[in-house]
Amino acid sequence: MAEDSIAGTAPTGGDLVTLLDQAAGAAEAVFARAKSRVAANLMPDGKLSSQELDGAQHMAHGLSWLATYAAVLRETAAVASRLHAGGRFGETEQLTARILAGEYLNQIAGGIPMNQGEFARPRDLGLAQADLAVLFHCHLFEHGNTAAARARLVEVIADGHFGDSGLDGTLSEMRETMRRFVEDKVAPNAHDWHRKNAYVPLEIIQELADLGVFALTLPEDHGGMGLSKESMCVVSEELSRGWIAVGSLGTRAEIACELILCGGTEEQKAKWLPKIASGEILPTAVFTEPNTGSDLGALRTRAVRDGDVYKVTGNKTWITHPVRAD
């Protein structure tokens, strides 16, 4: 079939919102079928055993990716609907949404690239060609990610504007603050820091603390700002735009706070959370191990208390920010 031209039959506005909803529904339908097939394969008696799961990791991994693709398409449709209702669903936003939907629908049908050498093919999830028909019936399957749409998107983003983020006023202001900080303090120095294999300067860490980067999602009664996870995404993306090492600093604090909030005692919460939020205490993530990665359920390193100390045995592939951690 001939591909849509941008000025001709390409869907826009409310029509595109409807087609995005159709695409999300199709992906969800395929996921539901895949989930049923995988469950029948791994849970014949209704119970999942870790042994069965270990022997079918590629299938389970692929199902997780498919679930993620379906969720992204649903969220894309929801964002498009909100932007359209607010009169903010412009050409850049429409092109981005239709290209994404078209690409994702085709990857679901042909194979989702989970990494450079591992693909989740429909047959890996027990899906037959008939199970994918709902994808082929989507207009955006063939008319979403077209050459004309991609070429036009390149034209409209040439000035550096990448469309409406959909962020509220608070998050937009936060993004601009972090962007100014990055352009002023990080981007001009990042290449030199990298070439010298230098650590993130302490003064940069202190300024991040002063900006509240380590307190974003922590509840206010523990010294935090009580903001959403979305705020952490916004801040991390902007900081990472300057240098990935700076961008990951805030996430270390968030992970530590989350673990203490979920599993710590009240005494531990009172002692550690306010200090992490203020930047007085810098935590680290001691996760990744040889042959295991960051699968926290399979870690082999152990810390055993011996009198007043803990004896640690095991191996780590790397540790995030160990030289800066307290």
Query: 308 and 213 in one domain?
Result: no
Query: 113 and 59 in one domain?
Result: yes
Separation between Cα atoms, residue 236 and residue 252, nearest integer Å: 11
pTM of this prediction?
A: 0.74
Answer yes or no: are the C-beta atoms of 127 and 110 closer than 8 Å: no
Query: 177 and 311 in one domain?
Result: no
> Residue 216: which residues within 8 A CB-CB, separation 6 or more?
224, 225, 227, 231, 232, 235, 250, 254
Summary count for the chain: helices (H), strands (E): 14, 4
Which residue pairs from 195-200 have beta carbons closer than 8 angstroms and sit at least 24 positions apart in sequence? 199/323, 199/324, 200/245, 200/246, 200/249, 200/321, 200/324
Q: What is the mean pLDDT of residues 243-250?
A: 91
In a domain, 7, yes or no: no
Each residue's pLDDT tens digit, 257-269: 999 999 999 999 9
6, pLDDT greater than 60: no
4, pLDDT greater than 60: no
Answer yes or no: are the C-beta atoms of 87 and 145 closer than 8 Å: no
Q: Where a domain ends, among 117, 135, 156?
A: 156
> Residue 36: which residues within 8 A CB-CB, separation 6 or more?
none
- Residues of the chain above pLDDT 70, percent: 97
Question: What element of type H or E holds 81?
Answer: helix 57-85
Separation between Cα atoms, residue 222 and residue 274, nearest integer Å: 6
Per-residue model confidence (pLDDT) at position 5: 53
In a domain, 98, yes or no: yes
12, pLDDT greater than 60: yes
The CATH number linked to 174 is 1.10.540.10
Answer yes or no: are the C-beta atoms of 246 and 184 closer than 8 Å: no
Residue tagged 């504007």 (tokens)? 161
Per-residue model confidence (pLDDT) at position 291: 85
Query: 258 and 216 in one domain?
Result: yes
Answer yes or no: are the C-beta atoms of 223 and 260 closer than 8 Å: no
Lowest mean pLDDT among 3-12, 17-26, 30-39: 3-12
Answer yes or no: are the C-beta atoms of 217 and 165 closer than 8 Å: no
Query: 293 and 202 in one domain?
Result: no
Q: How confident is the model at residue 320 (pLDDT cuts 50, 70, 90)?
A: confident
Lowest mean pLDDT among 49-53, 133-137, 139-143, 185-189: 49-53
Q: How confident is the model at residue 1 (pLDDT cuts 50, 70, 90)?
A: very low
CA angle 71, 75, 79 (to 5 degrees): 175
Separation between Cα atoms, residue 125 and residue 35, nearest integer Å: 8
Each residue's pLDDT tens digit, 61-102: 999 999 999 999 999 999 999 999 999 999 999 999 999 999
9, pLDDT greater than 90: no
Burial of 71 per CB tally in 10 Å (0-12, 13-18, 19+):
middle
Per-residue model confidence (pLDDT) at position 293: 85
Each residue's pLDDT tens digit, 187-238: 999 999 999 999 999 999 999 999 999 999 999 999 999 999 999 999 999 9
Query: 209 and 298 in one domain?
Result: no
Q: Where a domain ends, among 156, 182, 204?
A: 156
The CATH number linked to 78 is 1.20.140
Query: 303 and 313 in one domain?
Result: yes
In a domain, 57, yes or no: yes
Each residue's pLDDT tens digit, 115-126: 999 999 999 999
Cα torsion 194, 195, 201, 204: sign: negative
Residue tagged 């990080």 (tokens)? 186
Question: What element of type H or E holds 42?
Answer: helix 13-42
Query: 290 and 279 in one domain?
Result: no
Lowest mean pLDDT among 3-12, 73-82, 133-142, 234-243: 3-12
Pick the closest to residue 166 from 226, 83, 97 (CA basis): 83
Query: 275 and 227 in one domain?
Result: yes
In a domain, 194, yes or no: yes
Query: 311 and 274 in one domain?
Result: no
In a domain, 8, yes or no: no
Indicate the average pLDDT of the chain: 92
Q: Where a domain ends, among 126, 156, 186?
A: 156
In a domain, 161, yes or no: no
Query: 194 and 89 in one domain?
Result: no
220 lies in which domain range? 169-283
In a domain, 323, yes or no: yes
- Per the structure, the count of domains in the chain is 3
Q: What is the mean pLDDT of residues 138-164?
A: 93
Report the length, in residues, of the chain.
Answer: 326
In a domain, 163, yes or no: no
Per-residue model confidence (pLDDT) at position 3: 52
Each residue's pLDDT tens digit, 273-292: 999 999 999 998 888 999 88
Q: What is the mean pLDDT of residues 138-142?
A: 97
Query: 315 and 190 in one domain?
Result: no
